Amino acid sequence: MVPWLQPGDPFPPVECALEEPNGLLAAGADLSVARLLEAYGNGIFPWYSEGQPPLWWSPDPRMVLVPRELRVPRSLRKRLARRDYEVRADTAFEDVIRACAVPRPGREDTWITDEMVFAYTRLHREGHAHSVETWIGGALAGGLYGVALGRVFYGESMFTLKPDASKIALAHLARQLERWGCGMIDCQMTTAHLARFGAREIPRSEFMRKLVNLVNYPGTARKWRLDDDLFE
């Protein structure tokens, strides 16, 4: 059993998370700005389906991408060189999160519920959540969103409507974060897709040590603007 959080209850230590299912730590509470910032600052994130209470997770191991370790596959380098796209940040956050919420083929439900959309849009308005968007032919073709605290970016989800659109957004995100001195992109769960870009698993204990040194930077809540020369 995991603890049920009442309003105002602190999260339990991440070491208390279950091994199966991997990382389940607590249930309950809410998705207020204060609660979400507390969660991310302590290496915890919400993930649950419609009809469930909020479930809070801190898996072990944790997949991370260090921005300076970004690997751009050859096929994507060729795509980037074509320059037939535009990459923007924070110009269509709600459109991005709603596109990410659309169920994938073969799956009828989504963990990005209306409650989650509302909560993260509110985080975005306060400068903590961000979108990176790929535009092709004047239309939103793909992108990603996540939460930024200090020098950490917590990636939440991505979507694509055109080939390579989400990959283009991810590559620009990593390059920009490297310039800004970001030390880590939290990818949360292990995927082969992100491993192709240089993401790797680390023990949760190592993730938490890194987190302590990276999150406590004041004045980082702001609207993002990407540099124009990230892939020149």
- Summarised one tens digit per residue, pLDDT across range 203-223 is 999 999 999 999 988 778 899
Tell which phi-psi region holds residue 15, choosing left (phi > 0), alpha (psi between -120 and 50) or beta: alpha
CA torsion angle 192 194 198 204 (round to 10): -90
Where are the CATH 3.30.70.3550 domain residues in the chain?
4-59
- Residue 61: asked if its preceding bond is cis (omega within 30°), the reply is yes
Give which of 27, 9, 25 is closest to 60, Cα–Cα: 25
Q: What is the pLDDT of residues 151-171, one digit of tens each?
A: 999 999 999 999 999 999 999
Q: Name the helix (H) or strand (E) containing 186.
A: strand 184-188
**Two structure tokens written together for 229:** 């020369």
Based on its alpha-carbon atoms, the radius of gyration of the chain, rounded to whole angstroms, reads: 17
Where are the CATH 3.40.630.70 domain residues in the chain?
63-214
Q: What is the pLDDT of residues 73-122, one digit of tens each?
A: 999 999 999 999 999 999 999 999 999 999 876 556 688 999 999 999 99
Q: Look-up: residue for tokens 């389906």? A: 49
Give the per-residue pLDDT at 164. Answer: 97
Higher pLDDT, 38 or 232: 38
Higher pLDDT, 1 or 44: 44
Cβ(35)–Cβ(29) below 8 Å: yes
Higher pLDDT, 44 or 104: 44
Dump the DSSP string for 188-211: ES--HHHHTTT-EEE-HHHHHHHH
Looking at the whole model, is its pTM more than 0.85?
yes
Give the per-residue pLDDT at 105. Answer: 67
232 confidence band (pLDDT: 50, 70, 90): confident
Q: Domain 63-214 carries which CATH code?
A: 3.40.630.70
CATH architecture designation of domain 4-59 = 2-Layer Sandwich (3.30)
